[in-house]
Amino acid sequence: MSLRELLLPYLSALLLAALTPCVSHAGVTSAASTIVIAKDFMFGPTALTVAAGSTVTWTNKDDEPHTVVSDSGLFRSAALDTNESFSVRFDKPGTYRYACSIHPRMVGTIVVQ
């Protein structure tokens, strides 16, 4: 029996242990991709909590274009025309505030756990 064969069960257990937290985190939100809708000059939901690694997609449902610009400068969409979308993948836990630069009163928050 080689050393590799001896260690295999142990390595597998380690791998499983490493994966487990991710799996349970994914369980917090039902999907790894979440949609925020910009409609009637508001982002909805205004505050959204997702697991680390999730992708958030904003879709504009207004006749007026909107942008998605993070306060910290981390992400910035182009002007989204009606039905256009913009996505960001959030890997690091934290609170991310954003606004529409065309209508700065449109604000929202993504909380990544």
Partner 1 sequence: MSRESVVTSRRAALKCLAFGGAGTLFALAGGVFTPIDLAVAAADRTGAASLGKPLFVQISDSHIGFNKEANPDVVGTLNRSIDAVNALPEAPALVIHTGDITHLSKPAEFDLAQQLFSRLHTAEMHSVPGEHDTTDPTVTEYFNRFGKASGNKGYYSFDHAGVHFVALVNVLQFKPGGLGTLGAEQLAWVAADLKGRSSSTPIVVFAHMPLWTIYEPWGWGTGDAPQLLEQLRRFGSVTVLNGHIHQIVQKVEGNVTFHTARSTAYPQPVAGVGGGPGPLKVPAEQLPSMLGVTSVSVVKHPSGLRLSDTTIAEGGMA
Residues near partner 1, by CB under 8 A: 40-41, 62-65, 67, 69, 71, 76, 78-79, 81-82, 97-99, 101-105, 107
- Beta-carbon count within 10 A of 3 CB: 7
27: enclosing H helix or E strand: none
Question: If we measure between CA atoms, which residue out of 107, 103, 64, 106 comes closest to residue 82?
Answer: 64
CB of 37 to partner 1, least distance (A): 14
Q: Which CB, 51 or 62, lies closer to partner 1?
A: 62
Q: What is the DSSP letter of 74?
A: S
Q: Which CB, 32 or 97, lies closer to partner 1?
A: 97
CB of 44 to partner 1, least distance (A): 13
Q: Which CB, 34 or 62, lies closer to partner 1?
A: 62
CB of 19 to partner 1, least distance (A): 36
CB of 29 to partner 1, least distance (A): 25
What is the largest distance, in Å, between two alpha-carbon atoms of the chain?
68
Question: If we measure between CA atoms, which residue out of 31, 34, 36, 92 comes closest to residue 68?
Answer: 36
